Amino acid sequence: NAGVTQTPKFRVLKTGQSMTLLCAQDMNHEYMYWYRQDPGMGLRLIHYSVGEGTTAKGEVPDGYNVSRLKKQNFLLGLESAAPSQTSVYFCASRAMSQGAHNQPQHFGDGTRLSIL
């Protein structure tokens, strides 16, 4: 019963390096999301996807790219890491809405990323 799995759990990067965070869900959910959580700021949406092959910008998309080549995976890329991107990154997924009722989002345990 894995749910939403994020890898890696921790990572330290140097400024300018690149990396990809992987999110995998086994619930056959249509929607997937990437958030960052910073002290005093709450969770903010970076990018999201409403289905395989689709992506859209969230509230704070600059400096990040995403891809959803397979329904179960949602990748978040940092092309040139900056200290301002030090944060905890969370992936979430949810099922498609049923009529007027929306479904809850399910979260992974997060990736703690430090940029030196």
Partner 1 sequence: KQEVTQIPAALSVPEGENLVLNCSFTDSAIYNLQWFRQDPGKGLTSLLLIQSSQREQTSGRLNASLDKSSGRSTLYIAASQPGDSATYLCAVYGGATNKLIFGTGTLLAVQP
The CA distances from residue 98 to 30, 43, 49, in Å, are 12, 25, 18
Is residue 104 at the binding interface for partner 1, with CB under 8 A as the rule? yes
DSSP 8-state symbol, 103: P
Count of residues touching partner 1 (by CB under 8 A): 27
Is residue 29 at the binding interface for partner 1, with CB under 8 A as the rule? no
Q: Which of 23, 110, 113, 115 binds partner 1 (CB under 8 A)?
A: 110
Beta-strand relationship, 111-115 and 10-13: parallel
Q: What one-letter code names the amino acid at 97?
A: S
Query: Can you tell me which residue has the tokens 């509230």?
Result: 59
Q: Which stretch binds partner 1 (CB under 8 A): 22-30, 64-72, 74-82, 95-103?
A: 95-103
Is residue 89 at the binding interface for partner 1, with CB under 8 A as the rule? no
Q: Strand order in 73-78's β-sheet?
A: 4-7, 19-25, 73-78, 64-67
Q: Which stretch binds partner 1 (CB under 8 A): 21-29, 36-44, 65-73, 79-87?
A: 36-44
* Residues at the site binding partner 1, with contacts judged by CB under 8 A: 4, 31, 33, 40-45, 48, 50, 56, 58-59, 90, 92, 100-110
